[in-house]
Each structure stands twice: as C-alpha cells, then as structure tokens.
Amino acid sequence: MKKLKIKTGDTVMVIAGDDKGQKGTVKSVSLLTNKAMVEGINMVFKHKKPSATNPQGGIVKQEAAIDISNLSLLTTSGETTRVGYRIENDKKVRFSKKSNEVI
C-alpha cells in the first residue's frame, strides 16, 4: 500500500477537473482507492429511496470522492506546495517544499 501525503484535516486546492481552483478541507482519505472526500468539492446528486430515517426520499446533493492526484496541499499563506518529510527532534514531520515550513 502506498503512503499518501495528504491527510484528514489538511486544506487543499483542486488542480484538475471540473472543480479546478476551489479550496476545501479534507474530511477523509481512502488508502485503497487513492481518493479523498473534500468539504464542498465534487458535489453530485444522489437519488435516495424513502426509508425510516428519510421518509421523504428524493434527490440529495452530496460530496463524492476525488482522486488524490487532483489535489494539492496549501500552505498557511494560501499557495499550493508539494510535501516533503524530515526528522526534527527525533520526530518525522511533513514540511512544505515551497516555503520550508512544517505542516
């Protein structure tokens, strides 16, 4: 299994696809499919059947997973960057390649 450089809670920007240029926070990451759920990004319409929890049913708008390769991490100043790893005080930390700050 491959290690992903984007984690839950990171602020990312979409760099490819229909939502290109939009920013959001990562809600969850799937290692098996290399996809992430980003808040407010890749919204799709889902047809829901009436059930006990949702007696009305109908069409619901919700987020769909987006591929990790279409996301880029944002620095605190709001620019996209790549992620690197280094050891600081006997701990492995992620850092921004562009601004050299710890994420």
| pTM of the predicted protein model | 0.82
**pLDDT tens digits, one per residue of 2-61:** 788 999 999 999 999 999 999 999 999 999 999 999 999 999 999 999 999 889 989 999
Q: How far lies 90's CA from each of 31, 47, 86, 87, 93, in Å? A: 26, 50, 10, 6, 9
**pLDDT tens digits, one per residue of 68-85:** 999 999 999 989 999 999
What residue ranges do the domains of the chain occupy?
11-77
What topology does CATH give the domain 11-77?
SH3 type barrels. (2.30.30)
Q: Is 40 left (phi over 0), alpha (psi -120 to 50) or beta?
A: left
Q: How far apart are CA 3 and CA 46, in angstroms?
A: 31
